[in-house]
Structure 1
Amino acid sequence: MSAKESQNHRIAVQRLGLVDYETAWAYQEELLAATLAIKAQNREAIEAGTPVAATPNHLLLCQHPHVYTLGKSGKPEHLLLDAAALVEHQATFHRINRGGDITYHGPGQLVGYPILDLDNFFTDIHRYLRVLEEAVIHTLLEYDLRAGRIPGLTGVWLDFEEGASNPRKICALGVKCSRWVTMHGFALNVNTDLSYFGHIVPCGISDKAVTSLQQELGRAVSLTEVEDRLLVHLAEMLAAELTFEEE
């Protein structure tokens, strides 16, 4: 079986519920390492002219307790809380290996971590980011919210058109890619406590606001409903088949 024939378009989805950030990060690293090990074996198989194995794809969906994460290009001063204030707000802080600056995760926010081998789909990281954004944009449209992109700023925004009076971010993205295997992902504010964004310079952007589905609609929204709708669009845009694993 050739590398092309071994492409796997199935994505195993796991709904992890509320999970500690470090636990989810370690799990991502574990899945990433397992996939990279298969890819290393496949490189040897190709050289030897023997069959290659299909690599897996995973999507972890979860929420986190209050946590701030700082990406590789981020500035520590964009966190406006000291150690004592973090404890007071029942929040933790982690420097991590994704791209991007600082962001917040917390209850009521839908966090998605795709651990995908892009060799199974397309090897273009910018296209991958646009696919994640587009799936969120289509999901928000189901709630009659017209969202889009702002040139030069990763993520999904409302009032995104040039010259709009109040651009506000509803979904943040930050990914890492190793030998075309992705980790980290997106954070969509559904019923998020937006006050926690007041303690950072979100994604290093000081002149734009953040928002949530709850804020925009004036009501709480079922996180499971949002998950289900987002999964439909993500599967369609990746031409993927979703399978669901036991939690």
Structure 2
Amino acid sequence: MQIVNVLSHGPVDYMSIDHLQRYLHHEVAAQRMPDSLVVWESRATYTAGRRTEDQDIPDTHVPVIRMDRGGSVTYHGPGQLVVYPIVKVRPPKDVVAFVRNTELAVIDALGAYGLDSHQVEGRSGVWILEPGKQDRKICAIGIKFADDATMHGLALNVTTNLDEFMRVIPCGIQDAGVASLQSLGITTTLDAVATILIPHLARVYQQFLLRPSEELVFADADVLLEQMRSYRPDSQAATGTRWEPKLQRMAPAPTASLE
């Protein structure tokens, strides 16, 4: 499995990594490139899934990107470890099992910090459950299967500014909060968490892979970022676009005037 670690670049533009993941997905789906884990940190961005309504969008200077995933709007930003598994899966394709095993890998990794985290029936992600307190999500997970390969992934709050989540209802869940390792009193870095998490993810994904391989190979992220520049997706609608209100998206295009 190929590890594409972009953390050394610091927080990067969301659309740049979205372009990278779609390039890798195109290559992995065609079996021209090994299964990959993209590890990165985003600049402050809100992403809007297919269930997002105009009233869900925060009034903020932070960019809002419309994405081809399920769910509503959520936040990505500095201090959040994002991992995109881009792997070719064998039949039968079971996205629920893939998500559940991703959750288990995160739970095992957080256990290295002595943290007790959980799955919650009927809800994706990894949760902090404490008696008498609101359930809090520490890791959001959203996976998409396309052309027998996965895309999108997980976002684990390490030192994330949780105030940014207060502008929205994360993933459309109204009766829960958010947490980070920092808010739970754990001091660490994204690099340290990634070092622990990556082997757990690689291990649980083996059962789903069309081409299982336990070897971890660290790719040159800069080379791949350069290669992706020549990749043009089949449809612009599939690449992620800036959010526009629905009325604006539905309005007819302006006509040219001869005056």
TM-score exceeds 0.5: yes
1:245 equivalent in alignment to 2:219: yes
Query: 1:12 aligned to 2:5?
Result: no
Contact 1:55 / 1:117 at 8 angstroms: preserved in 2? no
Normalising by structure 2, report the TM-score: 0.76
2:14 counterpart of 1:21: yes
1:73 Cα shift?
2.5
Are 1:212 and 2:190 matched, yes or no?
no
Look up the equivalent residue of 1:65 and give its one-letter code: R
1:229 corresponds to which of 186, 192, 196: 196
CA shift for structure 1 position 55 = 5.7
Q: Which runs of 5+ in 2 are unaligned?
A: 207-213, 222-259
Which residue of structure 1 aligns with residue 73 of structure 2? 102
- Match of 1:241, SS state, is coil
What SS class does the counterpart of residue 102 from structure 2 fall into? helix
Q: How far did 1:207 drift?
A: 1.7
RMSD over aligned Cα atoms: 1.9
Aligned to 2:82: 111
Find the counterpart in structure 1 of residue 124 from structure 2. 154
User: 1:189 aligns to what?
Assistant: 157
Q: Is the 8 A contact 1:13 1:59 kept in 2?
A: yes
Matches within 5 A, 1:30-45: 30-36=23-29, 38=30
Q: Is 2:109 the partner of 1:139?
A: yes
Q: Gaps (5+ residues) in structure 1?
A: 1-10, 40-53
1:122 and 1:62, CA in 2 relative to 1: closer, same or farther beyond 3 A?
Answer: farther
Deviation at 1:164, TM superposition (A): 5.4
- Report the count of equivalent residues: 211
- 1:151-182 residue CA offsets vs partner (Å, 9 max, x unmatched): 1111110007xx75321000001122112211
Quote how far apart the aligned CAs of 1:122 are: 6.4
Provide the rounded CA distance (Å) in 2 between the counterparts of 1:128 and 1:25. Answer: 21
Match of 1:79 among 40, 52, 57: 57
Shift of 1:236: 2.1
Cα distance, 1:137–1:164 mapped onto 2, change above 3 Å: farther
Cα distance in 2 for residues equivalent to 1:179 and 1:232: 25
CA distance in structure 1 between the partners assigned to 2:68 and 2:104 by the alignment: 24
Match of 1:67?
A: 45
Alignment map for 1:36-55 (pairs within 5 Å) = 36=29, 38=30
1:100 CA drift (Å): 2.0
User: How far is the alpha carbon of 1:227 from its aligned partner?
Assistant: 0.2
Looking at secondary structure, tell me which structure has more strand per residue.
1
Q: Please state whether the residue corresponding to 1:213 is helix, strand or coil.
A: coil
